[in-house]
Amino acid sequence: MSANQATKKTAAAAAVEPSSSTHEPRYNPAEIEPKWQQRWADQPDLYSVEPASSGKPKYYVLEMLPYPSGQLHMGHVRNYAIGDALARYMWMTGHNVLHPMGWDAFGLPAENAALKNNTPPREWTLQNIAAMKRQMTRIGLSYDWRNEVTTCLPEYYRWNQWFFIRMFERGLAYRKKSKVNWCPECCTVLANEQVIDGYCWRHEETLVEQRDLEQWFLRITNYAQELLDDLSRLDGWPEKVRTMQRNWMGRSEGAEVVFQIEDSASAPEDEHATTRQAGTAVLPPREDIRTSGRSVTVFTTRIDTIFGATSIQLAPEHALVKEFAATKPELAEEVSKLVSEQKQARDAADIGTIEKHGVFTGHYAINPFNGERLPIWVANYILLDYGTGAIMSVPAHDERDYDFAKKYGIEMRIVILPRRTKDPANDAEEAVLPYTAEDSILINSGEFNTLGNQEAQHNMSTYAEEHGFGKAKVSYRLKDWGISRQRYWGTPIPMLYCEKDGIVPVPDDQLPVLLPENVDITMEGGSPLTRMPGFVNATCPMCGGPARRETDTMDTFVDSSWYFYRYTSAKDDKAPFDTDTVAYWFPIDQYIGGVEHAILHLIY
């Protein structure tokens, strides 16, 4: 503001408030703020919760907890000013208010800062917390600091470990092979944030690969339907957020159908397969077919189109492909190309859009609805970890199958038409493919002809179930939550590996498994924990023999998946929280946070 403007403004103010001086500024922060800050500091309980016995109605204001980067930014102030105003309003209207704050204090930036400035992650983090807390206090945010939560301290993360072991005991925490980002130059696993457009952040010319590593998962898919159903109980949440969550869980109603695989030794000399390279056409049913005893199960949302299936497509890493390739080196080679194409696509969404490639396996499956022989292909657009990793391909009625079939000359057969169809033969002739409408009627589908697609889906699923080759099935996009990180600054996963007893949890009375300090953080060779014999070498609680300690740490979303319970009794050292106190404060009356957390953080 220029001096001139300032004078004008003061003069205007003076006009409405004649008592204030024209020369003194009306608001002098340097004078007035320290005065009130001191008054607040003199009353440390000013914003503390009262006991339930106060008889006042309770009100829980929860704000997303910040990552302690070192300085508040305007985004924080915007979010926290809302919570502050609300909490004050609730106090003034006679409520018992819980208005807590904490620090989402584990995570990669602390390790990067440690590398850069040679400060240990713990020290760097705690300094940042102190600085941000000073700022919050200075702007007068009304927090109950008695219930402060700092996720990187053992008082907190011991309960992550305790929860993990409880989940392990119930089969909800488990290990399986899964893909990680691997930089062949660094020889280490990279976090997603360290992969920039598919390249290593430290090696601009090195493409990051996907490698299989044994990792820990939480079985959140057990709760997919419950999560979805309960979205309708989230009154007052923006519809946008609920829609994002619904899409993330991605419920699909469809069917699984089992196709028997033909015994290739018994298969007749097949001119289609040999002369036209790859079994381009569907072959008619044969009386003398023998099956190999093997089968492939597909997931489809359009079982009503099954008479239009003209091939089976497998994900490149499907178990059956490995079997087929074991005796066929040419196939193995082609498949490994498809696998690496998928690896270079960054995520599932990309896989759907990459240039489609595939290879014929030389094997056939039998359509259980009409006995036709369908060539089995491997295709790069089929995901291993959705549905069953295998599909029936219906090129006349599916975009991706259409592109693929067109490229490889695979037959297309029309089996659905618009309901208004009077002359199916003619309309089929004139149909523009792919014809993908939901609302349609069946043709070329044997006893199911003329049914509407909904009825057909129902009848065909039932038919498959009655004949023992399929059933109605719901699939979800939601996947189990991979929580292993090959990093230092996180909660150690409290598990041991014993040669004799296998995977053994750390006994409760040995918790917390402390994260060691004085660690040499370098990027070389994965997590620094693997290079600390004092951490890795442990004793098996079952047999007393030597055991190796798990060196993976937990994803920081584990920390932020339950901090809002901890706020209700943050100093409890007997339990993660007290159920009576939680029962009093919950449900949270108002949550304030950014929409960027609508999925992942808020779902976990």
Which of Zn ion, ligand ANZ, none has residue 241 at its interface (CB below 5 to 8 Å by kind)? none
Q: How far is the CB of 180 from ligand ANZ (least distance, A)?
A: 21
Q: Which stretch binds ligand ANZ (CB under 6 A): 98-106, 268-276, 301-309, 358-366?
A: 301-309
- What are the tokens at 253? 């109603």
Pairing of strands 188-190, 546-549: unpaired
Q: Which stretch binds ligand ANZ (CB under 6 A): 79-87, 229-237, 297-305, 562-570?
A: 297-305
Query: Is residue 443 involved in binding Zn ion (CB under 5 A)?
Result: no
**Residues 485 to 514: which contact ligand ANZ by CB under 6 A?**
none
Q: How far is the CB of 248 from ligand ANZ (least distance, A)?
A: 13
SS3 218: strand
Closest CB to ligand ANZ among residues 121, 387: 387
Task: Tell me the C-alpha distance between 340 and 332, whole Å.
Answer: 12
Please list the residues that pair with 195 across neighbouring strands.
Answer: 200
Closest listed residue to residue 185, CA positions, set 169, 199, 168, 171: 199
Please list the residues that pair with 392 across neighbouring strands.
Answer: 312
Q: Which residue is it, tokens 């999560």?
A: 227
Closest listed residue to residue 254, CA positions, set 398, 430, 364, 152: 398
Closest listed residue to residue 138, CA positions, set 189, 217, 84: 84
Closest CB to ligand ANZ among residues 314, 519: 314
**Residues 312 to 341: which contact ligand ANZ by CB under 6 A?**
315
Pick from 392, 443, 504, 603 the residue near ligand ANZ by CB under 6 A. Answer: 392
Query: Is residue 363 involved in binding ligand ANZ (CB under 6 A)?
Result: no
Instruction: Count interface residues toward ligand ANZ (CB under 6 A).
Output: 18
The letter for the amino acid at 455 is: E
- Name the strand (E) or helix (H) holding 110: helix 108-117
Q: Are 529 and 535 spatial neighbours (Cβ–Cβ below 8 Å)?
A: yes
Please list the residues that pair with 473 across neighbouring strands.
Answer: 254
Residues with Cβ within 8 Å of 295's Cβ and at least 6 positions away in sequence, in order, are: 258, 259, 260, 261, 365
Task: Tell me the C-alpha distance between 503 and 129, whole Å.
Answer: 37
Q: Which stretch binds ligand ANZ (CB under 6 A): 108-116, 390-398, 442-450, 571-579?
A: 390-398
Q: Are 501 and 540 spatial neighbours (Cβ–Cβ below 8 Å)?
A: yes
Which of ligand ANZ, Zn ion, none has residue 394 at its interface (CB below 5 to 8 Å by kind)? ligand ANZ
Compute CA distances 260 → 164, 257, 410, 461, whole Å. 41, 10, 20, 17
Query: Is residue 221 involved in binding ligand ANZ (CB under 6 A)?
Result: no
Query: Is residue 301 involved in binding ligand ANZ (CB under 6 A)?
Result: yes
Task: Tell me the C-alpha distance between 287 and 265, whole Å.
Answer: 16
Q: How far is the CB of 389 from ligand ANZ (least distance, A)?
A: 5
Which of ligand ANZ, Zn ion, none has residue 540 at its interface (CB below 5 to 8 Å by kind)? Zn ion
Pick from 128, 194, 305, 553 the residue near ligand ANZ by CB under 6 A. Answer: 305
- What are the tokens at 149? 């939560």
Query: Is residue 391 involved in binding ligand ANZ (CB under 6 A)?
Result: yes
Query: Is residue 300 involved in binding ligand ANZ (CB under 6 A)?
Result: yes
Compute CA distances 22 → 1, 10, 11, 161, 383, whole Å. 17, 6, 6, 63, 73
Query: Is residue 224 involved in binding ligand ANZ (CB under 6 A)?
Result: no
Query: Is residue 299 involved in binding ligand ANZ (CB under 6 A)?
Result: yes
Neighbours of 382 (CB within 10 A): 29
Q: Are 489 and 551 spatial neighbours (Cβ–Cβ below 8 Å)?
A: no
Which of Zn ion, ligand ANZ, none has residue 387 at its interface (CB below 5 to 8 Å by kind)? ligand ANZ
Task: Tell me the C-alpha distance between 202 and 34, whole Å.
Answer: 46
Q: How far is the CB of 347 from Zn ion (least distance, A)?
A: 39
Neighbours of 255 (CB within 10 A): 24
Task: Tell me the C-alpha distance between 146 and 407, whole Å.
Answer: 66
Q: Are 457 and 255 spatial neighbours (Cβ–Cβ below 8 Å)?
A: yes
Q: How far is the CB of 475 from ligand ANZ (least distance, A)?
A: 6
Q: Which stretch binds Zn ion (CB under 5 A): 47-55, 410-418, 423-431, 540-548?
A: 540-548
Query: Is residue 261 involved in binding ligand ANZ (CB under 6 A)?
Result: no
Which of ligand ANZ, Zn ion, none has residue 469 at its interface (CB below 5 to 8 Å by kind)? none
Query: Is residue 122 involved in binding ligand ANZ (CB under 6 A)?
Result: no
Query: Is residue 500 involved in binding Zn ion (CB under 5 A)?
Result: yes
Q: How far is the CB of 61 from Zn ion (least distance, A)?
A: 48
Sign of CA dihedral 16, 18, 19, 22: positive
Compute CA distances 216 → 171, 172, 248, 308, 486, whole Å. 12, 10, 21, 41, 11
Query: Is residue 546 involved in binding Zn ion (CB under 5 A)?
Result: no
Query: Is residue 256 involved in binding ligand ANZ (CB under 6 A)?
Result: no
Closest CB to ligand ANZ among residues 313, 581: 313
Query: Is residue 365 involved in binding ligand ANZ (CB under 6 A)?
Result: no
Query: Is residue 383 involved in binding ligand ANZ (CB under 6 A)?
Result: yes
Q: Which stretch binds Zn ion (CB under 5 A): 29-37, 201-209, 345-353, 532-540?
A: 532-540
**Residues 86 to 125: which contact Zn ion by CB under 5 A?**
none
Q: How far is the CB of 299 from ligand ANZ (least distance, A)?
A: 5
Q: How far is the CB of 284 from ligand ANZ (least distance, A)?
A: 21
Residues with Cβ within 8 Å of 248's Cβ and at least 6 positions away in sequence, in order, are: 477, 478, 599, 603
Query: Is residue 501 involved in binding Zn ion (CB under 5 A)?
Result: yes
Q: How far is the CB of 555 from ligand ANZ (least distance, A)?
A: 25
Closest CB to Zn ion among residues 543, 588: 543
Q: Where are the alpha helices (DSSP H) in 432-473?
A: 453-466
Q: Are 489 and 107 spatial neighbours (Cβ–Cβ below 8 Å)?
A: yes
Which of ligand ANZ, Zn ion, none has residue 305 at its interface (CB below 5 to 8 Å by kind)? ligand ANZ
Pick from 416, 498, 519, 570 the residue near Zn ion by CB under 5 A. Answer: 498
- Residue 434: HSE in the Cβ half-sphere, 13 Å Cα cutoff: 21
| Binding region for ligand ANZ (CB under 6 A) | 252, 299-302, 305, 315, 382-383, 386-387, 389, 391-392, 394, 397-398, 475
| Binding region for Zn ion (CB under 5 A) | 498, 500-501, 540, 542-543, 545
